[in-house]
Homo-oligomer: A and B are copies of this chain.
């Protein structure tokens, strides 16, 4: 089940256009954080007003982690060059489709502000990053057209329904924090902690792991931390 997550859109028409293309390609789940939704949005939504009405309005960017198993961020081509690791590896829409094809679980694709896109702190929380290959002369697409292209590509694939066995993105976040505790306990170089967390988050997020698997990994890390603390006390 694939949903769309709109973040910080300021032009109300764009939110409506997104609802319309979602319905055009058979997608239903819309999450909204910090967007301007007005009568104009309902006008451009045309016959997809139901999608707008049923949209889940979130209070913080990271609230999405409670709703889905995997979070995919989108980024413009230019942004890729500026970042060293936050926006790498970056997938094409076709690669994302191939990756998700045949998988189960709830996935949200996040689209950012008309001017700045998603902030780095938001992209860091994503498990995959995707970009639409565009003309370097003018790579900046209108957000609703970017959604249209991505949903068109994803509509070629087949996806399973929600799977209760797969852990929520929030659970992965907790596991990443447990890894951080281990890193700090063993004096892992501080300046590498952030990027290591991003790598861990992406590996674990992409794996769509089950509750059982999560418990196993949590167990190892927690055991290691406890033992290290035990040794230190001596």
Contacts and interface: CB of A to CB of B under 8 A. Distances in A.
A118 B189 CA distance: 64
A17 B134 contact: no
Contacts of A144: 145
A203 to B, nearest CB: 29
B155 A152 contact: no
A135 B145 CA distance: 17
A130 interface: no
A24 interface: yes
Interface in A125-139: 132-135, 137-139
Contact of A140 (B24, B149, B153): B24
Interface residues of A, number: 29
A26 B148 contact: no
Contacts of A24: 134-135, 138-141, 145
A153 B94 CA distance: 10
A25 B148 contact: no
B134 A25 contact: yes
Nearest to A20: B142
Contacts of A152: 93, 132, 149, 152-153
A18 to B, nearest CB: 10
Given A132-B152, A149-B152, A23 B142 contact: no
Contact of A135 (B26, B132, B138, B149): B26
A137 B22 CA distance: 12
A155 B133 contact: yes
A48 B141 CA distance: 11
A166 interface: no
B17 A47 contact: no
Q: 8 tightest A-B contacts by CB?
A: A26-B135, A145-B148, A149-B152, A23-B138, A24-B134, A24-B141, A148-B148, A47-B138
Given A17-B142, A24-B141, A149-B152, 6 more contacts: A20-B142, A25-B135, A26-B134, A46-B142, A132-B152, A152-B153
